[in-house]
Amino acid sequence: MTLTEQLLARASGKKTVSPGDNVWVNVDVLLTHDICGPGTIGVFQREFGKSARVWDPRKVVIIPDHYIFTSDSQSNRNVDLLREFARAQQLPYFYDVIDDPTGHWQFDSSRGPLARQYGDRYGGVCHAAVPERGHVRPGEVFLGTDSHTCTAGAFNLFATGVGNTDAGFVLGTGKLLLKVPPTLRFRLEDELPKGVMAKDVILEIIGRIGFDGATYCAMEFDGAGIASLSLEDRMTIANMAIEAGGKNGVFPADEKTLSFVQESCRRNGTHAQFEPVESDPDAPVLAEQTIDLSALEPTVAQPPNPGNRELAQRLSSVRIDRAYLGSCTGGKLSDFLAFAQVLNGKQVAVETFAVPATPLVASELHRRQIDGKSVWEILSSAGVRLTENASCAACLGGPMDTFGRLDRPMTCISATNRNFPGRMGHKESKVYLASPYTVAASALTGRITDPREFLPS
């Protein structure tokens, strides 16, 4: 069996499963956030009754992250709805925006978008927060009310996005009927050359197979090249499995995975027993492709979809109005470090916004140094508009006052994950997706730029 088949067989108590089987799986973690959580709670209470209890409070993780730093009153209210539910159900893993468990969240726009406005427990972007907070364990089934839930597959889990109704069902029963997907296997060989990042790997793959090329399929990443990828690299790759239509993306577990997860669960005091799965080498797959990492070059997805691939160097005539760094795809610490490496000592030529994925990333920006300067200082002196307020922000447009939102027809290069019409705001704006290196180099020149010439050798 493939990794995904092993994971679903275990979770459904079966010896073996095959693609196409419909199985009831036991869910290990259900994740939700502020834009789907209130609806999920609504479904749960409608179907199981107002006084119903969730199936297991320790398996529910609630992380408000989407529409947080906005004056929109309904968005602020949604965070309050999550708080009320977490309190009534005594959920230990609710990462509130504010510290007062009986308070109300209200964004104070008079303090501006840059200064920190969250409390000590706030988690930031849920997909980046769950590994930090000890909620991913190899061998488990992890469902979330967000399509980028597939990010957690980097840690050898079955992780996929579901809607409010399915999530409401899980809240009440701890189970969900899932179809076992066929697996597409991607063998990654060799190592990435200078100037090329995990984002380029996944843009190359989506470009090759098409952005519906993995519809209904599991994307399993394998091969000797994986060892050279950090866990954040693997998260970036698994994160965009959905952009090829994939049901999930999944990696084998190695020493890096095990030590990260053990350390994170220990630090957070979360449950730390787990058992990784391994793929049978002869497990039949639907198709297999090899990607020679050493042959990859900085890659861009042009509008209007993430599969519209082109090399950065061939797009040097494209002028941009804005550059954006952030999200579950491109707002992690390694993304910021790469970004700062290119911007160090230089000035951006277009307005550039940067949003850390989590409060931990934000605090590390003050601590980590390059050439004796903090990453925060490097970006600020380069002219980047950098906020402490970790969230999904303009990756998905959001309310009109969202930091970095494309409010008019403009061209943006972004380290995020989607570039459909209107994704980052105005429906006539154009979004080019690229790695943090490429976004940084393009911010310096005002046109799409291959970053390799800007990197120290």
Partner 1 sequence: MSTISGPAYVVGDNIDTDQIIPAQYLMLVPTVPEELHKLGSYALSGLPDDLYPERFIARGEETSRYPILIAGRNFGCGSSREHAPIALAAAGCRIVVAESYARIFFRNSVSTGVLYPCESAERLCERIRTGDLVEVDLQNETISVGPARRRLKSLGEVRPVVEAGGIFQYARKTGMVSTP
Note the residues at the interface with partner 1 (CB under 8 A): 22, 24, 35-36, 38-39, 41-43, 46-49, 52, 66-67, 72, 74-75, 78, 81, 145-147, 149, 161-166, 169, 172-173, 175, 177, 211-212, 215-216, 245, 247, 304-305, 396-400, 418, 420-423, 427-428
How far apart, in whole angstroms, are the C-alpha atoms of residue 373 and residue 380?
Answer: 11
Query: In 3-state terms, what secondary structure has residue 289?
Result: strand
Nearer to partner 1, 43 or 444 (CB): 43
Q: Contact 322/410 with Cβ under 8 angstroms?
A: yes
How far apart, in whole angstroms, are the C-alpha atoms of residue 13 and residue 15?
Answer: 7
Measure Cα distances from 316 to 151, 351, 374, 390, 435 in Å.
31, 18, 30, 31, 15
DSSP category for residue 400: T
- Quote the least distance from Cβ 165 to partner 1, whole Å: 4
- Quote the least distance from Cβ 257 to partner 1, whole Å: 25
- Quote the least distance from Cβ 166 to partner 1, whole Å: 5
- Quote the least distance from Cβ 443 to partner 1, whole Å: 24
- Quote the least distance from Cβ 341 to partner 1, whole Å: 31
- Quote the least distance from Cβ 154 to partner 1, whole Å: 18
Query: In 3-state terms, what secondary structure has residue 71?
Result: coil
Q: What is the token pair recorded at 219?
A: 């994307």
Q: Contact 153/245 with Cβ under 8 angstroms?
A: no
Strands 373-374 and 369-370: antiparallel
The residue type found at 421 is: P
Q: What is the three-state SS of 98-159? A: CCCCCCCCCCCHHHCCCCCCCCCCCCCCHHHHHHHCCCCCCCCEEEECCHHHHHHHHHCCEE
Nearer to partner 1, 202 or 261 (CB): 202
- Quote the least distance from Cβ 144 to partner 1, whole Å: 8
Nearer to partner 1, 405 or 452 (CB): 405
- Quote the least distance from Cβ 38 to partner 1, whole Å: 4
Query: In 3-state terms, what secondary structure has residue 386?
Result: strand
Q: Contact 437/426 with Cβ under 8 angstroms?
A: no
Query: In 3-state terms, what secondary structure has residue 315?
Result: helix
Nearer to partner 1, 196 or 217 (CB): 217
- Quote the least distance from Cβ 404 to partner 1, whole Å: 13
Nearer to partner 1, 334 or 414 (CB): 414
Nearer to partner 1, 134 or 144 (CB): 144
Alpha helices in 141-228 (DSSP H): 164-173, 198-209
Q: Contact 171/181 with Cβ under 8 angstroms?
A: no
Nearer to partner 1, 208 or 271 (CB): 208
Nearer to partner 1, 162 or 365 (CB): 162
Nearer to partner 1, 164 or 257 (CB): 164
